[in-house]
Structure 1
Amino acid sequence: MIEFYTAQTPNGRKVALMLEELAIPYNQHNIDLGKQEQKSADFIARNPNGKIPVIVDTDGSYEHKTTVFESGAILYYLAEKHQAFFGHSLEEKAHVMQWLMFQMSAIGPIFGNYHYGKHTLKPENPGFIERFEKEALRLLGVMEIQLEKNHYLAGETYTIADIATYPWLINFIKSKPEWFESKPSVLRWAQTVGARPAVKKVIP
């Protein structure tokens, strides 16, 4: 059984998508970020960094519980354990991992900082917003080139790279449609991923 500690953020939704795609049993524990529950001693014992998501696999290796934090590491763990959404050869896995890392190192931080600058940072800093908007648009251009040639980010197969990226982009597709006017391949990809039953369940 998977004990899943999460909140309604893109990183939390990544793992929720993976669990639903795998169709494995799990218990979801909602963490109230506003009340700083992720900083409690109980939570810190699971993730020293005090952030969601975290999973505890009660059926881990050698009959021990396995705790995993950081959303990318969780996706990797579940993909390896269940041999799903990750490819089979070392070359295939490396290709998936590079696009997973693209989300972790680029899409997440850049889009997250843009959202922070636009909706949270006070007083508003136009230069900060402009910087991250410019880089967000560049990253969408990288995705567009990749998706012009491939159905999914890592090739012709749906993988953890897509599972990681979709929750970060879907709200921007809705709130910033002008960013995607010249990105038909990204929109086609998002529509394809969004039509999956597991995705519809997690992100209606």
Structure 2
Amino acid sequence: FYAYAPQKIEYAIDRFAMETKRQMDVLDRRLAESEYLAGPDYTIADMAVWPWYGGLAKGRSYNDAAQFLSVHEYKNVQRWADAIDARPAVTRGRMVNRMSGDPAFQLRERHDASDFETKTQDKLEAAE
């Protein structure tokens, strides 16, 4: 409702903004107790949740929603999002099928591990 609805309906924006903030608070409190969602190790739980809440925490989702929702206040979520964002496999995964942003981080098709080194969009454009 905040980012995409053609009509800005205050009730809907307030309701879902508050629900998102409630979920961020639950996540923040859980991450105050452990490094990752399920405990000390990175698990499928983190892999499933990070694209949504990590993206929001890093300011990559829904235009300027991070500022609107004050996600900087959730310090444990920020720590968690930064830790996962720094993982090399996550960095590579975010490159695959990317069509916008820095061409050095766009790997539109991946068929082999070497594609990360040889077939990012900046390299393909330079070869043309």
Question: How many Å apart are 1:120 and its aligned residue?
Answer: 2.3
Residues 52-76 of structure 1 deviation map (CA, whole Å, 9 limit, x = unaligned): xxxxxxxxxxxxxxxxxxxxxxxxx
Question: How many Å apart are 1:124 and its aligned residue?
Answer: 1.7
Q: Which residue of 2 aligns with 1:181?
A: 72
Residues 152-200 of structure 1 deviation map (CA, whole Å, 9 limit, x = unaligned): 0011111111001111123322141452232111100011111111101
Aligned length: 88
Contact 2:54–2:77 (Cα < 8 Å) also in 1? no
Which of 47, 68, 73 in structure 2 is aligned with 1:163? 47
> 2-side partners of 1:170 and 1:162: how far apart?
9
> 1:145-160 residue pairs with structure 2 within 5 A?
145-160=29-44
Question: How many Å apart are 1:126 and its aligned residue?
Answer: 1.2
Read off the aligned partner of 2:36 and give its amino acid letter.
Answer: Y
1:193 matched to 2:78: no
The structure richer in strand per residue is 1
1:134 matched to 2:18: yes
TM-score between both structures, scaled by the size of structure 1: 0.41
Question: How many Å apart are 1:140 and its aligned residue?
Answer: 0.7
Any idea what SS the aligned residue of 1:118 has?
Answer: coil
> 2-side partners of 1:142 and 1:170: how far apart?
14
1:202 matched to 2:123: no
> 1:1-204 residue pairs with structure 2 within 5 A?
117-173=1-57, 174=59, 175=64, 176-177=66-67, 179-203=70-94
Identical amino acids, percent of aligned pairs: 32
> 2-side partners of 1:185 and 1:169: how far apart?
12
Read off the aligned partner of 2:93 and give its amino acid letter.
Answer: V
> 2-side partners of 1:149 and 1:171: how far apart?
21
Any idea what SS the aligned residue of 1:155 has?
Answer: coil
> 2-side partners of 1:126 and 1:164: how far apart?
30
Give ranges in structure 2 of 5+ residues lacking alignment. 96-128
TM-score between both structures, scaled by the size of structure 2: 0.63
> 2-side partners of 1:149 and 1:120: how far apart?
35
Give ranges in structure 1 of 5+ residues lacking alignment. 1-116
> 2-side partners of 1:179 and 1:202: how far apart?
27
| Structure with more relative contact order (C-alpha pairs < 8 Å, separation 6 or more) | 1
